[in-house]
Amino acid sequence: MNDLPVFPDLESLSSAVKICDRCDLHVGRTNAVPGEGSANARVVLVGEGPGFHEDQQGRPFVGQAGKLLDEMITAIEMRRSDVFIANLLKCRPPNNRDPEPEEATACFPYLEQQLALIQSRLIVLLGRYALNAFFPEARISRARGVARRLHGRTFLPVYHPAAALRQFKLRDVLAEDFQMIPKLLADASSAEADPPTPPSTRQLSLFS
């Protein structure tokens, strides 16, 4: 269901999300939640979908899970304004139920275009639904804390902050995984600063 037009910037994409009717979730929403943050963010955080407070305000992660997420961002000496925060779903499912496959399919092209426009160095996948949107066979309990590559992008799966609120023991795990973000960013910067040696130069060195 990737029949979206190509948006030139995040603003036009957000405007389209706010009037979207690609699935039935638009019927019961108060506000769509396109996402927010820096268009030049080095890190994009991808969650599952809006909850009650997000639906009311039209902003991602503004409830209790959002407060915990803000703590995790601050702990790695970043600010919320430094990153871009989005969700797989742009509208709240009724009663905060799990996303249906057709809803995720309808919304995913928006997320794809957001990632293409931002060109971040790292995409942090918050929870199993964000993880499975990119890695369908992966399990969050095994995938968390392990960076992986796909189509030239680096992904870091972690537990969703809401899961850490429900199971306190996961809070330390989430904090530990967030501590990987600065190193992954540093590694990405180093790779960009040190381009690979041209093949011809490497070949000559074999005979020097």
CA-closest candidate to residue 75, choices 178, 151, 158, 154 = 178
CA-closest candidate to residue 88, choices 112, 121, 61 = 112
Q: Evaluate whether 126 touches 88 at the Cβ level (below 8 Å).
A: no
Higher pLDDT, 195 or 119: 119
Residue 201, pLDDT score: 40
The domain segmentation of the chain, as residue ranges, is 10-180
Residue 133, pLDDT score: 97
**Domain 10-180 grouped into CATH 1.10.3720.10:** no
pLDDT band at residue 94 under the 50/70/90 scheme = very high
DSSP letter at 98?
P
pLDDT (mean) for 111-135: 98
The alpha carbon dihedral of 191, 116, 164, 78 has a sign of positive
Residue 207, pLDDT score: 36
Residue 194, pLDDT score: 60
Residue 198, pLDDT score: 53
Instruction: Report the predicted TM-score, pTM, of the whole model to 2 decimal places.
Output: 0.90
CA angle 160, 162, 166 (to 5 degrees): 120
Rounded Cα–Cα distance for residues 64 and 71 (Å): 11
pLDDT tens digits along 183-193 = 999 998 877 76
pLDDT (mean) for 35-53: 97
**Average pLDDT in the chain:** 92
Q: Is the pLDDT of residue 177 over 60?
A: yes
pLDDT tens digits along 2-41 = 689 999 999 999 999 999 999 999 999 999 999 999 999 9
pLDDT (mean) for 64-75: 98
Residue type present at position 166: R
The radius of gyration of the chain from alpha carbons, rounded to an integer in Å, stands at: 18
